[in-house]
Structure 1
Amino acid sequence: MLRLRPRAVILSLFVLLAMAFGGRADHPKRVLLVYESESTLLAAEQIASGFHEYMEANAPEHIEYYTEYLDTLRFSTAEHRARLAGFLEAKYRPLNLDVVVAAGPGALRFVVETRERFARNVPVVFGAVTESSAAAGSLPADVKGVTSRFDLAKTVQLASRLQPQARKLTVMYGSAPFDRRWGDTAFAVLGKRYAGLDVEYVSGLSLDGFRSTAAGLSSDTALVILTVFEDAEGTKFVPRDAAAAITEASNAPVYSVYGSYFGPKVVGGHVGTFQSTGAQMAALSLDIVRGDHSAPQTTPAREAAVVDWGAVQHWGIDDILIPDGAEIVGFEPSAWERYRMPISAALLVMAAQMLTIAALVYQNQRGRRLEATLASERIELAHLSRRSQLGELSGAFAHELTQPLTSILANAEAGQKIASEPAPDMEEIRAIFDDIVADDRRASSVISQLRSMMLKGEASQEVLDLNEAVRQTVALARAEMVARRTEVEVQDEWASVRVKANLVQLQQVILNLLVNAADAMADIPPKQRRVEIAVAKGKNGYCELSVEDMGPGIPAEMRSEVFKPFVSSKGGLGLGLAICRSIVETQGGRLFFDDAVKRGARAVVILPSA
């Protein structure tokens, strides 16, 4: 007989227990998802999407997922279910599953009936199951889930609210066992009249028959499409595809208890989305995986009134009829609704900019009008100043005219005497005529210059010779300078010094500076009274005109005030120099007194060269 030592026996038992319990504790968490439909059904896709999104966001530990699609809606025989049970037993019995998730009433019935073969004593979580299906049989305590109402009554109430003119309700469903059960439920809930609508039930038709019936509905009808897994001809469909085909042909607004049916012409319904149901199923499964079994056996799915905005627009339903709290899907807000605050801010900025621009334009126009007014007033003031200045020199101008007129008279009288002689000297008479012509031209020139300076005119500029302007002005003031016993010396350039200026206004400036220089020397001996006028080409495209006297100069206290209006050392109005500076600056130049001279005053005019 084989004898085992007690210590070896105890050690062996410990190893076996450790392997048994340790292996169970260390295996990864495994979840099996079982769908009653085939894999392309949109409801199954949405449940799977909601389930996995929740798990990825909330399950920190690794979980293995397995998925099976029973397709019992199209293959509903007992033999098919038995084959499925054997297949799942062979596939999953060796695995240690932690949770089995059943999506749909067919999957729930299958798992409850056969789980002992492939998932013995494994908790079950279900979803996408109505309250009546979940309560139809006594569920074991470890079978918990999310119940959906697929509330047909509230969906019809929503239709009655959105279509207050409706008088009739048409309910369509197919010929499969599931479809007929839905029809029985609908009749039990709605009867022949509900929510003020006469209820008509349409079934036992082919898909084309359903489409023709929907196309013949009147506009005062609301259409509810349940499920069409199979039509009267035995053709099987994915319910969403069949509903879409019927909806496309419908002449009346369409409603549904399934959110997966929503599309261009399905107005809405009281629904819970399959995605949110999948998320609720994931939350229950995660609690069980973590060892929390405190959840109630059934949890209602989150449902609400859902309205498709595109369908509301298509059927011309007034959006004011949409109930408060309803979820609106497919709503594309306008640019104003989406960006109200940025657009409002932009509009305010634009309005402020427009007001600023308008104010600037107004200010610019006002400035131009003011500038034009000032220019006009400046021209008027310069004209008045010239007339006043010429009035002061009227005696000199009279003397300037008297000389040629007297000479003309003397020559004319001499000519008369010579002409009365028996043999007149024609050469002498010709010389007399030449003198008369010269004196006449001299008088005419003086009158012409006086007239041009008396006229108001415009401040238009022209290209002129600065030397010639000085010579004409000095000639005009010659008699006045003689009367004041003042010598005027002109130092001009040999070449022409061309500037762009207004001749009359430039002569006014020269004449004013010349008379001011003579006035400044009134108290010194006549032999010392000399005015020097110099013309020179300057640098940087400018020409220079200077008028220098030998007087006492400008007092220090008046140097900063000399060009201001109403400032005078002669007892006058004190506008002459102010007007002269304004004239020169208007023509693009400068007028100033040279502070570097040691005796007298030197006024400098700078003008742009032409």
Structure 2
Amino acid sequence: MGSNRAKSVKYQAIGLACALFLAVSLTAFVAKQAVAQVGPHPVSRVLLIYENESTLTAAVEVAQGLRASMSKAMPADIEIYSEYLDTVRFPSPANVARLTDYLTSKYQGMTFDVILTIGPGALKFALDHRTAIGGGAPIVFGAVTDNSIRNNNLPADVKGVVSHFDVGKTIGLALTLQPDTKQIVVVTGSSAFDKSWQVSARATLRDAYSGVPVTYLSNLPIEGFMDAARNAADQTIFLVLTIFEDADGRKFIPRDAAGKIAAVARVPVYSVYSSYFGAGATAGYVGTFQAVGEQMGSLAARVLKGDLNASQTSFVGDGPLVDWLQVRHFGIDPERIPRNAEIVNFQPSVWERYRPQILAILAVIVLQTATIVALFFERRRKVRLQAELNLERLELAYISRTAQLGELSGALAHELNQPLTSILANAESGRRLLDSDPLDSGELREILGDIVLDNRRASTVIIQLRRLMIRGETSLASMDLNHAATTTLALLRSELLARQTQVDLALDLPDVRIQGNLPQLQQVILNLVLNAADAMRHMPPAKRIIAIETRKRENGTLELTVTDLGVGIAPERVADLFKPFVSTKKASLGLGLAICKSIVQAHGGTLRFDDSVRQGARVILTLPAA
């Protein structure tokens, strides 16, 4: 009930706003009256007579239509007066007589150019009293049905807009929405206007319509109508016409009464009035009251302009009107809604409302998914290729090491032969010493010590060779960069002696720790030292000096440099020397530096030539500290 009361207040406010608009218009036109009286265009006066009170929804909507059309079509100099008879709620002859006396007295001495009547009661009142009140002005009527004027011989200067309020078409629409209907219930109130509606409905529907039984409910209190709607059987059509008054004599605005019934109804409520929509009506075959007002305003403008040839009656357009919220509430199949129906309160589904956006988002998601899948497979392919490249790099590095060791086989054999020969000589000396008398135990102890040292030396060479011959090593561990340099030089001692090349080793710290793979780094150092020795092979032996230095830089990284005093490298060739199959030596494949750079990069380091050196060449190996 609170909701209906709020709606009533809302429409009261709208009605008052419309009245205020007309009053403001009246004030403006009155202000211009003096000018109009002396000017070439006299003021036109229009009288609006409403059958009902000002807050009735139908009256409000008609006023809105009138305002819209009159603002466009009416002359500029015009005075508008409005009266609300409210004879539906107060229909007694005595009340009508009092209204007649009041309006006759109020408008005494005034004449109107046109009278607009809204509702059949207002039309009858104007026909009966227009001479006394309006000076016999022509009449434009609206919000009346064809039945209301069918038996009246209207004068030629009475023209208007006829509304259908078609009960038969409304029930036909209801049967379309509810094809399994078993009963039709028609509700009317107890006022004279309500009873006239029941007579009209009986004439159209009779006791059955399209084979469906029809029941007529009237002369009940509002609670009786509500109970009937609350207890209605399934598959029932509930048609509410008008309830201006109930059996207890209580007065209602029909929209509010229909709203009370619809609020408790367990079946859809139908109506022939557009004003019931928003108050609970589900559907109806209707013409809007605003359209009635618009057509009345246009017709009145033609009358004011002297066009008396307009048709005496015109019909307001009507059609099926459906409330989407009610359709959803009662589970009516939307496919049953006629294609020509006007749908109010339409709330489309998320899919219907955002279909383009959803399709665009889905397309983006599909594309992103396809991209992610493609990137995933591409990454797997790259990982697989990288793994294969790593294996090939390790295999190539292994082949390079074995090739280098093959080249050094003579030097390595000499490196092993020296301790073995020394061991043999010391062993023979020891045997002879055992035959001497007396036995010199001190000398024998020295001989055995030399044998142990020579054995360890040979063992170290073999261990280093074994490490260099291991295939596919990839793991990194904490190690000493100085140790990698010294052990590599130990392997190269005989080769360097044969090449008459001297090495100056400068170690910055006693222990320079890195994360590395010892065999791989030994291969790098071995390659750099042999390249330096080759660069100085044409020089006198006294000048064949290789400088190897380790140091810790300020940024925390560790450096190992190999410097020679050879012919150096042309600046334009420096960048190409780390590429495969590029070499300064005719007999070389040009893979050594490329493999070394690959190993160093796998350790997170860099390998480059120092372009600041003016004589010879310096290679700088940089590695991150452990």
Q: TM-score, normalised by structure 2?
A: 0.86
The 8 Å contact of residues 306 and 326 in structure 1, kept in 2 or not, is answered as yes
| Alpha-carbon distance in structure 2 between the residues aligned to 1:97 and 1:530 | 128
Q: Deviations over 1:77-127 (max 9, x none)?
A: 222112112211222334454432211000111112112222113332211
The answer for the alignment partner of 1:571 in structure 2 is 587
The 8 Å contact of residues 265 and 311 in structure 1, kept in 2 or not, is answered as yes
The answer for the alignment partner of 1:162 in structure 2 is 177
| Alpha-carbon distance in structure 1 between the residues aligned to 2:197 and 2:143 | 14
Does residue 442 (structure 1) correspond to residue 460 (structure 2)? The answer is no
Structure-to-structure mapping, 1:108-507, within 5 angstroms: 108-263=123-278, 266-456=281-471, 458-493=473-508, 497-507=512-522
| Alpha-carbon distance in structure 2 between the residues aligned to 1:495 and 1:399 | 30
Change (3 A) 1:411 1:130: same
Question: Does the residue aligned with 2:282 lie in a helix, a strand or coil?
Answer: strand
The 8 Å contact of residues 173 and 226 in structure 1, kept in 2 or not, is answered as yes
The 8 Å contact of residues 264 and 311 in structure 1, kept in 2 or not, is answered as no
Which 10-residue stretch deviates more, 431-440 or 551-560?
551-560
The 8 Å contact of residues 265 and 314 in structure 1, kept in 2 or not, is answered as no
Q: Deviations over 1:294-345 (max 9, x none)?
A: 4322110121011222222233222222222011222201122122222222
Aligned pairs, number: 593
Change (3 A) 1:556 1:155: closer
Q: Deviations over 1:525-574 (max 9, x none)?
A: 54554333333445544444333334444478855543222334242432
Q: CA deviation at 1:443?
A: 1.8
The answer for the alignment partner of 1:605 in structure 2 is 621
| Alpha-carbon distance in structure 2 between the residues aligned to 1:349 and 1:255 | 46
Corresponding letter in the other structure for 2:286: V
Change (3 A) 1:251 1:473: closer
The 8 Å contact of residues 229 and 236 in structure 1, kept in 2 or not, is answered as yes
The answer for the alignment partner of 2:12 in structure 1 is none
Change (3 A) 1:499 1:205: closer
- Identify which of 597, 617, 622 aligns with 1:581: 597
Q: Cα RMSD over matched residues?
A: 3.0
Q: CA deviation at 1:354?
A: 3.0
- Identify which of 499, 524, 531 aligns with 1:516: 531
Question: Does the residue aligned with 2:548 lie in a helix, a strand or coil?
Answer: strand
Q: Deviations over 1:217-253 (max 9, x none)?
A: 4323322222222333433332223333333444443
Corresponding letter in the other structure for 1:218: A
The 8 Å contact of residues 111 and 135 in structure 2, kept in 1 or not, is answered as no
Q: Deviations over 1:244-267 (max 9, x none)?
A: 333344444332211222357533
The 8 Å contact of residues 206 and 214 in structure 2, kept in 1 or not, is answered as yes
The 8 Å contact of residues 564 and 618 in structure 2, kept in 1 or not, is answered as yes
- Identify which of 50, 73, 83 aligns with 1:68: 83
Q: Deviations over 1:492-519 (max 9, x none)?
A: 4366555544332221111012222333
The 8 Å contact of residues 119 and 142 in structure 2, kept in 1 or not, is answered as yes
Change (3 A) 1:258 1:361: same
| Alpha-carbon distance in structure 2 between the residues aligned to 1:566 and 1:148 | 100
Change (3 A) 1:493 1:267: closer
| Alpha-carbon distance in structure 1 between the residues aligned to 2:35 and 2:486 | 131
Corresponding letter in the other structure for 1:144: K
Corresponding letter in the other structure for 1:239: P
Q: Deviations over 1:361-419 (max 9, x none)?
A: 33334333333332232223222222222222122122112212222232233333334
Which 10-residue stretch deviates more, 429-438 or 56-65?
56-65
- Identify which of 45, 50, 70 aligns with 1:55: 70
| Alpha-carbon distance in structure 2 between the residues aligned to 1:477 and 1:376 | 28
Corresponding letter in the other structure for 2:608: F
Q: Deviations over 1:423-468 (max 9, x none)?
A: 4223222222322222222222222222222223543444544333
Q: CA deviation at 1:292?
A: 4.1
Change (3 A) 1:248 1:494: closer
The 8 Å contact of residues 42 and 77 in structure 2, kept in 1 or not, is answered as no
Does residue 80 (structure 1) correspond to residue 80 (structure 2)? The answer is no
| Alpha-carbon distance in structure 2 between the residues aligned to 1:420 and 1:607 | 58
| Alpha-carbon distance in structure 2 between the residues aligned to 1:581 and 1:215 | 90
Change (3 A) 1:517 1:62: farther
The 8 Å contact of residues 255 and 279 in structure 2, kept in 1 or not, is answered as no
- Structure 1, unpaired ranges of 5+: 1-18
Which 10-residue stretch deviates more, 57-66 or 68-77?
57-66
Does residue 592 (structure 1) correspond to residue 612 (structure 2)? The answer is no
Change (3 A) 1:166 1:115: same
Question: Does the residue aligned with 1:266 lie in a helix, a strand or coil?
Answer: coil
The answer for the alignment partner of 1:16 in structure 2 is none
Q: TM-score, normalised by structure 1?
A: 0.88
Change (3 A) 1:21 1:395: closer
| Alpha-carbon distance in structure 2 between the residues aligned to 1:486 and 1:163 | 109
Q: CA deviation at 1:288?
A: 3.3
Corresponding letter in the other structure for 1:606: T
| Alpha-carbon distance in structure 2 between the residues aligned to 1:226 and 1:206 | 15
Corresponding letter in the other structure for 2:409: S
Q: CA deviation at 1:71?
A: 1.0
Q: CA deviation at 1:480?
A: 1.3
The 8 Å contact of residues 171 and 223 in structure 1, kept in 2 or not, is answered as yes
The 8 Å contact of residues 36 and 43 in structure 2, kept in 1 or not, is answered as no
| Alpha-carbon distance in structure 1 between the residues aligned to 2:39 and 2:571 | 114
| Alpha-carbon distance in structure 2 between the residues aligned to 1:151 and 1:144 | 21
| Alpha-carbon distance in structure 2 between the residues aligned to 1:97 and 1:522 | 130
Which 10-residue stretch deviates more, 373-382 or 415-424?
415-424
| Alpha-carbon distance in structure 2 between the residues aligned to 1:562 and 1:526 | 26
- Structure 2, unpaired ranges of 5+: 1-33
Corresponding letter in the other structure for 2:89: R
Change (3 A) 1:20 1:95: farther
Question: Does the residue aligned with 1:398 lie in a helix, a strand or coil?
Answer: helix
| Alpha-carbon distance in structure 2 between the residues aligned to 1:95 and 1:103 | 21
| Alpha-carbon distance in structure 2 between the residues aligned to 1:478 and 1:216 | 113
Question: Does the residue aligned with 1:477 lie in a helix, a strand or coil?
Answer: helix
The 8 Å contact of residues 594 and 604 in structure 1, kept in 2 or not, is answered as yes
Corresponding letter in the other structure for 1:589: G
